[in-house]
Amino acid sequence: MTPEIAARLRDASGLVFDMDGTIALGDAASGGHKPLPHAIALLELLERKGIPFVVFTNGSAKSPATYAASLRKAGFPVPDERMLTPSASAARWYVREGIGKVRVLGNDGTAAPLRDAGIEVVGPSEPATGVEAVFTGWHRDFVFADLEAACESLWSGAHFTTASHVPFFAAEGGRAIGASYAINVMLSALTGKRPRILGKPGRAAIDTALATMGLPRSAVKNLVVVGDDPALEMRLANSVGALAIGVSTGMMKEVDCLPPRDRPAALLSSLEPLLEAMSA
Ligand SMILES: [Mg+2]
C-alpha cells in the first residue's frame, strides 16, 4: 500500500464493503456466514471511530434485515440499516422515477424492500397489466412461464432492471452462477432490451450507499469501496472517483489482465493492511 493510498484511507468519508468474498463467505453447512480474517475487527474499529460504513451485497436472495442478522450471528457489528442489497437501491430508484408496479423475478427477500417502499409487486409469472418495470434477482425457481410473462411486460414498455449482471460470484468452495445474469441474457436476446443495473456497479447503488451513510454526493471522492469483484466494486469505485480497494479472498486473484476501469488502486491479500491503515 502506497503512502498516497494510506493518506486517502485516513481521510475516508465512509466505506462501502462488499459481503461475499470480502468480509465473509457463505457457509453452506449452516446457511450462514463465516467471517474472513480481520473483517470483524475492521468494522468494529470503524464503529469506534465513528466512520460511517455500509455492507452492500449484490445478492438478492434475502432481505437486507436477513443478511444483517446472519452477519451479526457471525459476530459482525452490522445493524439492519447498514445492510444494503440491490433491492434496497432498486426501491429507491423506482420511487424516484415514479414507478409503482414491478414484476419481480426473485423471491420474498428480493421483493421485501420494494413492498416496504410501497411498490406493488407482481409475481414472476402472475398475469398483470400496467407493469412499469421488470426486476430480475436471485431466482433459482425460474420456469418458462416466468420468461413469457417478463417478455410480455417488457414488450409492453416496462423498464428492464436487474439486481446484478455478473455471471459468477464467490462462494465457499469456488464460484457460483449469478441467477439474474442467466435470466437477463435470455430476456435481452428475446426483447432486444438491455438491463439497467440497480445494484453494483450502477449509479443507484452508490447514491443509496451515500444516502444510507448520511453523506452528501460530494463525499463520493473520499469514499472507499472494498471488494473482491473487479466488475462490481472496482468498477463502481472507479466510475465515481472513489478509492477502489481490492481483496484477493474472492473473485479477484490478479489485476494485470483487467481493463483500467476494473482495476483496484491496491490489491490486498487480506483486510489486515486496511485495518492497520485505518488504525493509524
Ligand atoms: Mg463479492
Instruction: Calculate the alpha carbon distances from 218 to 207, 221, 237, 240 in Å.
Output: 11, 7, 14, 10
pLDDT of residue 173: 75
Strands 14-17 and 53-56: parallel
Confidence of residue 196 (pLDDT cuts 50, 70, 90): very high
Whether the pLDDT of residue 244 is over 80: the answer is: yes
Mean pLDDT for all residues in the chain: 95
pLDDT higher than threshold 90 for residue 169: no
Name the residue type at position 8. Answer: R
- Pairing of the two strands 24-27 and 32-35: antiparallel
pLDDT confidence of residue 133: 98
Convert the pLDDT of each residue in 65-104 to its tens digit.
Answer: 999 999 999 999 999 999 999 999 999 999 999 999 999 9
Q: Write down the CATH superfamily of domain 97-197.
A: HAD superfamily/HAD-like (3.40.50.1000)
Please say if the pLDDT value at position 171 is more than 80.
Answer: no
Say if residues 97 and 116 touch (Cβ distance below 8 Å).
no
Whether the pLDDT of residue 55 is over 90: the answer is: yes
- Please write the tens of the pLDDT for every residue from 12-32: 999 999 999 999 998 767 778
Asked if pLDDT for residue 45 goes beyond 90, the answer is: yes
CATH code of domain 3-85+201-279:
3.40.50.1000
Going from the Cα of 75 to the center of ligand 1, the distance in angstroms, rounded, reads: 19
Q: Which three cell numbers stand for residue 187?
A: 430476456
Give residue 176's pLDDT: 85
Q: How far is the CA of 3 from the centre of ligand 1 (A)?
A: 26
Grid coordinates of 79: 445493524
Residue 174: pLDDT above 90? Answer: no
Q: Do domains 3-85+201-279 and 97-197 have the same CATH topology?
A: yes
Q: How confident is the model at residue 1 (pLDDT cuts 50, 70, 90)?
A: confident
Tell me the C-alpha distance between 105 and 91, whole Å.
15
Distance 169 CA to ligand 1 centre (A): 6
* Confidence category of residue 170, pLDDT binned at 50, 70, 90: confident
- Give the residue extent of every domain in the chain: 3-85+201-279, 97-197
C-alpha 227 to ligand 1 mean position (Å): 6
**Signed CA dihedral, 113, 116, 119, 123: sign only:** positive
Cell of 119: 411498490
Q: Residue 182 CB: number of other CB atoms within 10 A? A: 14
Q: How far does the centroid of ligand 1 lie from the alpha carbon of residue 57, in Å?
A: 7
- Find the 228 Cα to ligand 1 centroid distance in Å: 5
* CA-wise closest residue to 94 among 83, 105, 84, 86: 86
Three-state secondary-structure class, residue 13: coil
CA of 258 to the centre of ligand 1 (A): 17
pLDDT at res. 120: 98
Residue 240's DSSP bridge partners are none
Average pLDDT of the residues in 36-40 = 98
Give the count of beta carbons closer than 10 Å to the beta carbon of residue 7: 11
CB 201 within 8 A of CB 166: no
User: Per-residue pLDDT averaged across 232-248, rounded?
Assistant: 98
